[in-house]
Structure 1
């Protein structure tokens, strides 16, 4: 369909939590009662880490393998560089540097950011290589570009860009002059910019996009949706913009008005109401996307004040934001009150959504549990399908940015989620689920995506409600290699209490135990050419310094115990302490 261009209402609604982060609060402590550990996550497999690369990285944002004879590996830095990975770590010079095309980090044009703040979510955010990179030398970058003069006059902050580039003929570097911009999506606020993108097993490019930023999904640049109890927002909108969605495009074809093609089976393709590019929607800040070998798509969605989630994404799926945060009703009027609304819809309207149900996540954890911080901002990972660490086989490995409520200490955590026993046996995957069947064409008549769009906003009232009480979940049985007791032999107790989802409704969640210390901000995950899990980390919560590093998970006792400090210097951890504190941002 063809969306109309709209003017922007330049009012700013108050918000209580912003961007990539959740609420600040008391410092994390370890609570023990009656000799029993009270943490939210049970302890899982013990692992080591091996340093892959460090020294020049500020804040690594994505990792990708260029499939070909050499299966070269690359990491992106938020500050604008793409580095190749060599036997000795990072390449001396960047494979490509797009700093001159990006918004200047720390310079804000919207009305939401504090002009003096160092925290920034924009930058070079994602990379992936064409499945036929060895033949066509094409690769794709997601980055934040400066706003146009027109956007600046209405206080929009920047433009999210997805571009195609080509490597030089000798594959030695990226050619900046080869840029072909595919998507230009104006963003009203500086935050909720998403990050990595991924080619699916069908050969199409899947591009997650955040809801436009700010808080609550109801500020200027956030359109009204169908849910009258909440103000906003872009997460539920499928007509006016491409924010709060996972997009699917065909980079190998072009439409009459678009620099890419639309897959025929996209849920809103052709004459169906809704933007042709949308594959799934209802996201706040989808931060990490991956596919397993069965074609299942995993997307982590960073929560706001209370809960974090990971979704198993299906075609046409509605993942709830801002009607819900995780499995819980969300209130734009009282976002920090879990009892503000307890009775919210379970389905979207028939038109134009086809009555799509609001999908619950496979993983959910709170920011705080029993007075302790659990984790700030979920970081999406990958399903482990190798045999090097057999205890992780089949589990989804993901994390939390930090556990420090002040967001200043590198207190991240690495987590696992084990699927139910019947997972993959007749269940829907990303290639089979389609809640909105509609015929489509390879091209589209909609307005070109390269035309910068603006939107209008509206506000409605909110009705208060209450939260549900959840009974205690039964204790989980340990899997081979998982630690089900603390080092002192104390039993782990599954979390319980108001708002805690029973564990039998989620995948089984545990926290990895590290040899030595793990004092890092967890920024993203990757897989190397052998399919082993990589953790992208740094020591700073802002894009400054050179403490970024890439770590590989290895079996316990086989890691190098290296830690990176300011200036890229390495030290060796000499303790066996485990970092158990964490919190969702």
Structure 2
């Protein structure tokens, strides 16, 4: 089961979230270009391309549990530990290093870990209990570490330090924490435990607990004699306060910049480091000479291509919608907070981004070479965390995995998707490079997602490498590191092209919503978030209906003695009509299909009558609450229902608001069609223009008959009422949870809702696609 996680600290979300009032504006290829004041809420309409290429992950190590200091109230910090990078000590020993934000630095040898240095113990004011990046943020070893024993760390210190310790440059107003860069010199570079000296070289205070100094590092491409050899880069965030000001654009402060310093020099403002004379702003009035590039919000991770052009790539976390990869060069201005990704940002309307102005070229901003947007569910508040943030990655130039060569491998640190772009396609000033999503496999060949590897809807993914270009994935969720040991070709999409063209909503239960994993992300076109009602994340079962599926949904009756609202079911509900499901508004047809397995006694005991042995006369499977349905009246429902005193598998449909329903009932005993403990693929189709309805089992039509004589639908060749659907119901009635009826003690997988009456061949082909994976 997935571990319970609540990620929203401010927003209170109802059991089933209502749709937003504002429609999304997207780019229409046939429409006029949007004006400068036209909001764009789908900045990058194209999704990452699902690649057939997959990575084989072998568990390499699990680091010890740890806890933040002081104890946090934000559950996002309550992880197994907070490991956030893996790299190799540059001394030829093969040892890997792993920092934990909660304070410890570990060394790994052949997967075996041991503590090397406790940064928390060395700092009386150490702080990691608030803010996603607070604590022991990063460590990097001098390229000549084998000879000089020098390495560098960055950590956070709290209020006492802010009040008492002098920063290198003036703190941001009302600073909450300070980031401190420290140089350590080991007495014996080969020792397994640190002993030596340290000195502080840089300190700066931030106005909130987020977006401080994320990464510090050296350019490993710089050989002896190269002017970049031994220069230390610092990725300094905007302190979380630049939404309403221009701090990242101002060159007189370090915030929202990448700094480049010489830790062996002494001409910096505090005499503890030097300012390289070849930095782009050296000698410019009013500018800090340390600045290498600027205009950043949260420069999370940067790395250099170890081959090719040797370019520096940055994974930059956006404010609301766009996650970006930049190729960073000296003097670049990435545009924040005037720009987010490729678009204009306005602090007063943060739900939207806007087109670039006609005179944009005069500003000289640098734009991403690759980017993806959040695609937040349409029935999720636009100003709430939607569970996305880029984790910068590595360009693979190794020889062991030829299919990865030349690819920049990165990921989304929240939902755990692993992505790549081709470096040959990442061109500054050109079209953004396509982004591909990699498939993932364990060493036994089982296809998994990172949420499966970690057992949590929020992964907290990071990506590291070693001197042989091996790639490593690590997650705070369970404190584990995996090594990429191979590649393999994964299966094609489980959805046929014919089904995809009309697939309005699709829930495969492989995509917990990272911002709140009591919800499931829609893989269909409507992008409608599904709520797991009452059971929440406990409703996820570690079982799939077909090869390649790892999870399903468990619905059930909870208390057969109580007429309450505690049954496990799932759904979407909006009493005003769910805009995101508008495909069913006036639709000419509908299809409901998916995998079902009964797991308990059905029908359930009836909690609404005094007879303790009375059972409901229906078992809810899945349906569309189109039109004005209140959760019990339906338009398109696949269900078990009593017909003439006998429970039958039925397609139950209603065409018009206020109109009558029709039922198509299977002839065969429902227990033969849906035997207990066995997965079965079922489908129901509804053609509103002709009045035809049909049932299918494992891709084949099911014999049956209509229950109501005549023409209760009043068929006239037109579609359903032009009314936005109230939602979707799964596993029972009333997804708004106002009352409980007709629970199904069942497991369900890959539920599909189409805005057309699918043809028999379409359903048969989709069943075969599932069954033959």
Q: Give the TM-score, by structure 2 length.
A: 0.49
The question of whether the paired residues in 1 share the 8 Å contact of 2:395 and 2:406 is answered with yes
Distance 2:342 2:120 in 1: 39
* Alpha-carbon offset, residue 399 of structure 1: 0.6
The question of whether the paired residues in 2 share the 8 Å contact of 1:22 and 1:305 is answered with no
Q: How far does the alpha carbon of each residue in 1:293-349 deviate from its partner, in whole angstroms, 9 at most, with x for none?
A: 23311111111111111110010000010001100100111111234x6538635xx
The question of whether the paired residues in 2 share the 8 Å contact of 1:281 and 1:317 is answered with yes
List aligned pairs for 1:235-250, cutoff 5 A. 235-239=248-252, 241-250=253-262
The question of whether the paired residues in 2 share the 8 Å contact of 1:19 and 1:192 is answered with no
Distance 2:10 2:325 in 1: 16
Distance 1:276 1:174 in 2: 36
Per the alignment, residue 205 of structure 1 pairs with: 232
Distance 1:302 1:320 in 2: 13
Q: Is 2:417 the counterpart of 1:413?
A: yes
Per the alignment, residue 555 of structure 1 pairs with: 486
Per the alignment, residue 133 of structure 1 pairs with: 145
Q: How far does the alpha carbon of each residue in 1:352-389 deviate from its partner, in whole angstroms, 9 at most, with x for none?
A: xxx76111101111111685999600000111111222
Per the alignment, residue 282 of structure 1 pairs with: 295
SS at match of 2:288: coil
Equivalent of 2:409 in 397, 414, 428: 397
The question of whether the paired residues in 2 share the 8 Å contact of 1:60 and 1:523 is answered with no
Q: Which runs of 5+ in 2 are unaligned?
A: 1-6, 18-44, 66-80, 165-170, 223-227, 381-385, 442-446, 490-541, 552-773
List aligned pairs for 1:177-216, cutoff 5 A. 178-200=197-219, 201=222, 202-203=228-229, 204-214=231-241
Per the alignment, residue 471 of structure 2 pairs with: 533
Q: Is 2:186 the counterpart of 1:167?
A: yes
The question of whether the paired residues in 1 share the 8 Å contact of 2:334 and 2:365 is answered with yes
Equivalent of 2:60 in 45, 48, 52: 52
* Alpha-carbon offset, residue 553 of structure 1: 1.7
Q: How far does the alpha carbon of each residue in 1:171-191 deviate from its partner, in whole angstroms, 9 at most, with x for none?
A: 325647612111101111001
SS at match of 1:376: coil
How many corresponding residue pairs? Answer: 413
The question of whether the paired residues in 1 share the 8 Å contact of 2:162 and 2:205 is answered with no
The question of whether the paired residues in 2 share the 8 Å contact of 1:22 and 1:376 is answered with no
Q: Is 2:337 the counterpart of 1:322?
A: yes
Distance 1:209 1:344 in 2: 31
Distance 1:98 1:528 in 2: 23
- RMSD over aligned Cα atoms: 3.6
Per the alignment, residue 75 of structure 1 pairs with: 98
Per the alignment, residue 43 of structure 1 pairs with: 50
Bigger Cα displacement from structure 2, 256-265 vs 143-152? 143-152
Distance 1:512 1:557 in 2: 10
Flag the 1:176–1:20 CA change in 2: closer, same or farther, 3 A: farther
Q: Is 2:360 the counterpart of 1:346?
A: yes
Q: How far does the alpha carbon of each residue in 1:60-112 deviate from its partner, in whole angstroms, 9 at most, with x for none?
A: 11222221231321011111111001124322xx100011327555656xxxx
SS at match of 1:160: strand
Distance 2:217 2:298 in 1: 16
The question of whether the paired residues in 1 share the 8 Å contact of 2:128 and 2:135 is answered with no
Equivalent of 2:176 in 157, 160, 165: 157
Flag the 1:552–1:178 CA change in 2: closer, same or farther, 3 A: same
Distance 1:254 1:72 in 2: 31
SS at match of 1:99: helix
Flag the 1:312–1:150 CA change in 2: closer, same or farther, 3 A: closer
Flag the 1:102–1:324 CA change in 2: closer, same or farther, 3 A: farther
Equivalent of 1:332 in 321, 343, 347: 347
Distance 2:310 2:11 in 1: 31
Distance 2:328 2:12 in 1: 27
Per the alignment, residue 275 of structure 2 pairs with: 262
Equivalent of 1:377 in 386, 389, 398: 389
SS at match of 1:251: coil
Per the alignment, residue 61 of structure 1 pairs with: 84
SS at match of 2:403: helix
Distance 1:264 1:506 in 2: 33
The question of whether the paired residues in 1 share the 8 Å contact of 2:295 and 2:337 is answered with yes
Q: Give the TM-score, by structure 1 length.
A: 0.64
The question of whether the paired residues in 2 share the 8 Å contact of 1:61 and 1:196 is answered with no
* Alpha-carbon offset, residue 144 of structure 1: 0.9
Per the alignment, residue 120 of structure 1 pairs with: 132
Q: How far does the alpha carbon of each residue in 1:516-535 deviate from its partner, in whole angstroms, 9 at most, with x for none?
A: 32214143211023111111
The question of whether the paired residues in 1 share the 8 Å contact of 2:301 and 2:393 is answered with yes
Name whichever structure is richer in helix by fraction.
Answer: 2
Larger Rg: 2
Flag the 1:401–1:418 CA change in 2: closer, same or farther, 3 A: same
The question of whether the paired residues in 2 share the 8 Å contact of 1:319 and 1:358 is answered with yes
Distance 1:578 1:248 in 2: 46
Distance 2:467 2:424 in 1: 28
Bigger Cα displacement from structure 2, 527-536 vs 203-212? 527-536
Per the alignment, residue 118 of structure 2 pairs with: 97
The question of whether the paired residues in 1 share the 8 Å contact of 2:98 and 2:105 is answered with yes
The question of whether the paired residues in 2 share the 8 Å contact of 1:375 and 1:400 is answered with no
SS at match of 1:61: coil
SS at match of 1:235: helix
Bigger Cα displacement from structure 2, 523-532 vs 372-381? 372-381
* Alpha-carbon offset, residue 124 of structure 1: 0.8
Per the alignment, residue 5 of structure 1 pairs with: none
The question of whether the paired residues in 2 share the 8 Å contact of 1:382 and 1:398 is answered with yes
Distance 1:21 1:285 in 2: 21
Distance 2:179 2:212 in 1: 7
Distance 1:97 1:264 in 2: 35
Equivalent of 1:514 in 422, 440, 451: 440
* Alpha-carbon offset, residue 155 of structure 1: 3.9
Flag the 1:267–1:325 CA change in 2: closer, same or farther, 3 A: same
Flag the 1:78–1:172 CA change in 2: closer, same or farther, 3 A: same
The question of whether the paired residues in 1 share the 8 Å contact of 2:409 and 2:420 is answered with yes
